[in-house]
Amino acid sequence: MRVDSRAITSKEEAAEAGEAAARDGMVEVLVQAAAKLAADGGLLRRARSTGLNRRWPRAHFHPTPELFLQTGGATRFEGPEQRWELGTGELGLMPRGVPHAETPLDRASDYEIVVACHRDNGFTLVRATAPAQADGTRRITPAVILAVPGERGREAFRYLDEAEAAWRGGDHDAPGDLAVDLARVFLRVLAEETRRAAPGKRNYSPPVEAACAVVRSHLADPRLSVEWLARAAGCSADHLARRFRAETGSSVVAWVAGERVALAQRLLAEGRYQVAEVAWACGFAQPSYFIRVFRARTGMTPLAWRRARGAKGGAVA
């Protein structure tokens, strides 16, 4: 069978053009958010650091901080001993380890949010909407996923830690000039890194690349499923499953498990989390299931793996 090289080139060019447009759009969102904060620091809100690293109904937490930019509608956040909303034009700081459940709300405008997520080799920007599902419920679903590699962007997330530490009082109090300035620096760094990022080499087709990017930024969410990833990738679940196995040699479920175990190894090596907390941070609803999956992939239980690493100079907790 002859392959039309012109058709392949056209598809590659279209993919690159789409990525460039997504990158420019994200840069604009970040720059505008930094400018709005300069004019009104009260637009910055945060979750309180309560119930850290715990399992909480319908919620998940991340071992790194996140920043939410509400570009349409509103988001209701719920967690241990707190409930608050992020309105259009506001920015929400989610400290590391805070369990949170998110409910999308339409207000004067349709729901849309941009989230900056930490990655081991950079960061990911996710623009999400909340379309209705078959059962009538709505779930926040990525519409644009942009992975930006680089140490500078990855390290910028420390500004969110510092902003949270500098905050005055509770979640309804003013953040203070230092917290606002740190958030603005964070936004500017991400905008600069996003602007200068060259199109990355594609290892897989666009749907599979999109699914991989979503997984890596949502590992803590135990609700990850092939169906949800397919909606985020813009294809059917059957199509994604076939393409994923053909291109990666693995099923989606097995690949997700591998990514979760890899994250668990990094968190175990830090020595600051209990095994159950690592399980929850990696999207395992039950620590016993986490132990089974971890042992099947590494030949050791999480605790034994941590001790073995500690014997070689790593942290033990």
Consecutive 10-residue averages of pLDDT for the chain (317 residues): 52 68 94 97 94 92 97 96 96 96 93 96 95 82 92 97 83 81 98 86 86 92 91 93 96 96 95 94 94 96 91 40
Sequence spans of domains, the chain:
7-196, 206-311
The whole-angstrom separation of Cα 28 and Cα 37 is: 14
Pick from 149, 177, 147, 163: nearest CA to 38:
177
**By the 8 A CB rule, do 237 and 226 touch?**
yes
- Taking alpha carbons only, the member of 52, 165, 56, 135 closest to residue 102 is 56
Strand ranges across the sheet with 101-105:
82-87, 74-79, 101-105
Architecture in CATH of 206-311:
Orthogonal Bundle (1.10)
Angle, helices 252-270 vs 237-248, to 10°: value is 70
pTM exceeds 0.85, yes or no: yes
What count of Cα atoms within 13 Å lies in the side-chain half-sphere of residue 147? Answer: 18
As given in the structure block, the two tokens for residue 173 are 């109090």
According to the model, what pLDDT value does residue 15 have? 61
pLDDT at position 275: 95
For the stretch 42-73, pLDDT in tens is: 999 999 999 999 999 889 999 999 999 999 99
Task: Give 249-289 pLDDT, tens digit per residue.
Answer: 999 999 999 999 999 999 999 988 999 999 999 999 999 99
CA 178 to chain centroid: 25
Q: What is the pLDDT of residue 314?
A: 40
Q: For the purposes of burial, counting CB atoms within 10 Å of the CB of 114, is it exposed (0-12), middle (13-18) or buried (19 or more)?
A: buried
